[in-house]
Structure 1
Amino acid sequence: MNSTNRPLPAADDGLPMPARLWAVVAVLLGSFLGTLDSSIANIALPSIAADLGSTPAAAVWVVNGYQLATAVALLPLAALGERFGAKPLYLVGTLIFTLASLLCALAPDLGWLVAARVLQGLGGACASVVGGVLMRAVFPARMLGRGIALFGLTVAVSTAVGPSVAAGILLVADWRWLFAVNLPLGIVALLMAQHFLPASTPQHRPFDTLGTLFNAAGIVLLVLGVDALGHAPALGLAEVAAGLAILALLLRQQRAQPHPLVPMDLLRIPLFSLSVVTSICSYTAQTVAYVSLPFFLQHGLGYDAVRTGLLITPWPLVIVLAAPLSGYLSDRYPAGILSSIGLGCLAAGLLALALLPAAPADWDIVWRMVLCGVGFGFFQTPNNRAILTSGPPSRTGAANGMMAQARLLGTTLGAAVVALGFGLFGSDGATVPLLLAAAAFAAGGAAASLGRLAA
């Protein structure tokens, strides 16, 4: 390690080896943990609900709380990262994430667990916000593309192995160990980041407090409203309306800000805004399936957690395999074509899952999962490339923030839709309606993607 025990300054052309290698491992480890924990809890939700004596609809908030906290915090944290520097924000976020993992493992009831997951989501958001910035400081300019690719691949791999990791842990231990395993990894990431990440140069710029409050209130009310529609329709509609009204106020308030939280200049570009809408729809579709399928496989078909994890794994695993090919094709064909084809495949796969026979063989489930994974894999890379390149190079950081925000809004909305479905139909009867809803979101994303061909 760095013998001086001081942060290494970033060179004009990145860090020298081997410091660059260790810095990259530190950044990717933090990103890996944050993304892994956003998906690993899905498999354990039925076990958590049974162990803590909660309903499936309430247990969904173990996922929803994490996603909601991350979605609310992402844009304000991006502003704080510019104000105080990327390295300090990464260190604080990793510390919060690690401590919150301990609280999750010790949770005596569902309320405690959801609160700890909210705190964990805040910590995980820090790595999402500053990961790309740190990779840019670590890698030489001529190798920056490799660094960004590594960052994206880490997110994809952590999502892919999440179900299998969860299944393996649940095979030998209870669900609390899903969170306890973060403790040694979080400590390692913290120590490596402290020693090897380059020092940050803060920018003295004002923080948009009012915009932050509008952002938080609008997103929270919107998600709570969707969740409440299943058991209190009048309250749910009021919360949705209030959330949309506050988000409209946010957009109006942002126009007058010299340093807005929301990149209004980029959203005025049709290719950028349509790509963001496409991303939100696709991640909503994927999350609805990811969260609802474990309940169907375990409650509806009687599978154990290990078998459930193995049957879901082909979906994210195929995403990892399809991503390099879609990246190659994205240099030659418009995102409007590739992403539309991918989301069409995803919609078809989700529809096929909704039409599963009453007693399906494992292969009946696996080929449908593969079709969904191929579709999502072909959508993801071209769409992300369109978001990052549709604006000027000087706005790449803001585009990266909106890309992450779109992903998190989609996953948060997806978890809320599942809670709504469980409230309306019960966990045993909600699978088909939820998968049909997921297919509709994927089809909507494909339609938005096609709109880019005329943009």
Structure 2
Amino acid sequence: MELFSDKPGDEGLPGRERALVMAAVMTTTLMAVFDGSMVNIALPQMARSLQVSAPVAVWFANGYLLSAAMTLAIFAALATRFGFRPVFIFGLSLFTLTSLGCAVSSSAEMLIVMRVLQGVGGAATLSIAPAILRSVFPGRLLGRILGLNALLIAASTALAPVLGGTLLGTLSWQWLFAINVLPGLVALGLAINAIPHKPMLNTRRFDVTGAVLSATMLGALIMAANGFAEPHAVNHTLNATITGWSVLALIGGVGFVWHIRQAEQPLLPPMIFRSGRFSLAALTSLASFISQGITFVALPFLFQSVYGYSAFTSALLFTPWPVGIVLVAPHAGRLADKYAPAVISTVGLLVFVVGLALLATLPAHAAAWDIGLRSLVCGMGFGCFQSPNNREMLSNVAREYSGYASGVLAIMRTFGQCLGAALVGVLLAVMATSTNVALEEQAVRMSLWLAVAASGLAILLSLSRLHRHQQHDAQA
């Protein structure tokens, strides 16, 4: 396989060692993404088992998401300070141990604590996974390996509800966590033996102020987004809570930006954003994940409330989306190693927006094959976009800043999906204020058109970087 073939002048590791690192990183990524996505479907069963109310059970999902989001930037900075290997091994060890802790939890309090710690472990691995791959693979293969990584994340996100539903139908909710233990131990053994150890990259004091401001900003954003996604977000008490979190996020964000511009050794160096192509690729990624987040939340309402499908059938209707990604993403990554990644990702966005428009115009009584075909177009478009765009981000910063760039990539993905979910929540709360199915359908279809608009914004951002790329070539 070409990914593991060696050529004279290749940087990184020899082919066999690259294969071991890839196995460790991708196994860990698969577990972390699945655990962040498939628990939602089990919340009712978990609430009954532990005898708690639905609002408490929501924290079985939110605890993981919140702690992961708050620590993504922190672990990206720690990896640059201490090296990828110790941070990744710490994160994987914590994630595996707390997976076992979740599985044996006998109370809601214990499960929430385990989920919060599990999110910290997941953040430590997800924030630097692409950077580790960049460090061990030669530049000529960067697009291909990032294509496989993007494929894994996107497909895992889409397939998680199906796997979760299958496990719940045959076993108990504890198995959603117990299945992580064995592959986690295998991945840990691979990581310890295969990821190269490098000396400390810098010895300056860690930016504690930046870490606190970053965690405050990102955590408050997640809480505000979750508040908007509540079905009764028009409630006055909830409105006050959302406003409070939003103000805190704004204060944290302004403080963080001011701090990193003033600090001698900031948590996230502003210089990585001086590359216009990196910044535009990051913004394009954010807009596209907002679009995907909207779609992944809106479609279950359409499938179940409007079309009358069961929860499990609705999950199956998502299957063509990851199939489209599997079909396209590896080839897109391969092309990105030979041609301009921005061009390939822009083509992918064009296909993606066509697929979203097809979903937004589904007929009143859509057949399963019709839904699947339109979802397939979306998956193919997103698969064509994501890996070249990730390559564009990582290749436009110096190699020593790969950890920071990898963290920004993870943040864009996490918050794009959260903001997308929040937007659907707002529309459902404002428009579908009764049990009227017609109003709910209207809100869902408007959400899908909002996803089309977000992906249209991503196209405009992508086209602007193409223009910048042409100007750079003309000057050269």
Equivalent of residue 373 in structure 1, options 379, 385, 388: 379
- How do 1:50-449 residues align onto structure 2 when only pairs under 5 Å count? 55=54, 62-106=60-104, 113-135=111-133, 138=136, 148=146, 150-159=148-157, 161-203=159-201, 204-229=203-228, 230=233, 231=235, 232-330=238-336, 334-421=340-427, 423-424=429-430, 425=432, 429=440, 431-449=444-462
> Deviation digits for residues 188-224 of structure 1, max 9, x if unmatched?
2223333443334223232100001111111222232
Match of 1:453 in 2: 466
Q: Is the 8 A contact 1:43 1:294 kept in 2?
A: no
- Structure 2 distance, partners of 1:342, 1:189, is 32
- Structure 2 distance, partners of 1:333, 1:101, is 42
Tell me whether 269-278 or 59-68 shows the greater mean CA deviation.
59-68
Tell me whether 162-171 or 360-369 shows the greater mean CA deviation.
162-171
Instruction: Report how far residue 350 of structure 1 moved.
Output: 3.1
Instruction: Report how far residue 407 of structure 1 moved.
Output: 1.4
Equivalent residues, number: 443
1:442 to 1:133, Cα distance in 2 relative to 1, 3 A: closer
Tell me whether 165-174 or 312-321 shows the greater mean CA deviation.
165-174
1:363 to 1:155, Cα distance in 2 relative to 1, 3 A: same
1:63 to 1:359, Cα distance in 2 relative to 1, 3 A: farther
Instruction: Report how far residue 312 of structure 1 moved.
Output: 0.6
1:445 to 1:13, Cα distance in 2 relative to 1, 3 A: closer
Q: Quick one: percent identity of the two aligned structures?
A: 37
Q: Is the 8 A contact 1:281 1:444 kept in 2?
A: yes
Instruction: Report how far residue 148 of structure 1 moved.
Output: 4.8
1:225 to 1:22, Cα distance in 2 relative to 1, 3 A: closer
Instruction: Report how far residue 389 of structure 1 moved.
Output: 2.5
1:210 to 1:264, Cα distance in 2 relative to 1, 3 A: same
Match of 2:28 in 1: 30
Q: Is the 8 A contact 1:43 1:309 kept in 2?
A: no
- Structure 2 distance, partners of 1:60, 1:434, is 23
Q: Is the 8 A contact 1:212 1:261 kept in 2?
A: yes
1:447 to 1:15, Cα distance in 2 relative to 1, 3 A: closer
1:319 to 1:59, Cα distance in 2 relative to 1, 3 A: farther
Tell me whether 326-335 or 188-197 shows the greater mean CA deviation.
326-335
Q: Which runs of 5+ in 1 are unaligned?
A: 1-11
**RMSD of the TM alignment (CA)?**
3.4
- Structure 2 distance, partners of 1:285, 1:316, is 16
Instruction: Report how far residue 437 of structure 1 moved.
Output: 3.2
Instruction: Report how far residue 332 of structure 1 moved.
Output: 6.4
Q: TM-score, normalized by length of structure 2?
A: 0.80
SS of structure 1 residue aligned to 2:369: helix
Q: TM-score, normalized by length of structure 1?
A: 0.83
> Deviation digits for residues 325-356 of structure 1, max 9, x if unmatched?
33344456655554344334333433433443
SS of structure 2 residue aligned to 1:207: coil
Q: Is the 8 A contact 1:223 1:416 kept in 2?
A: no
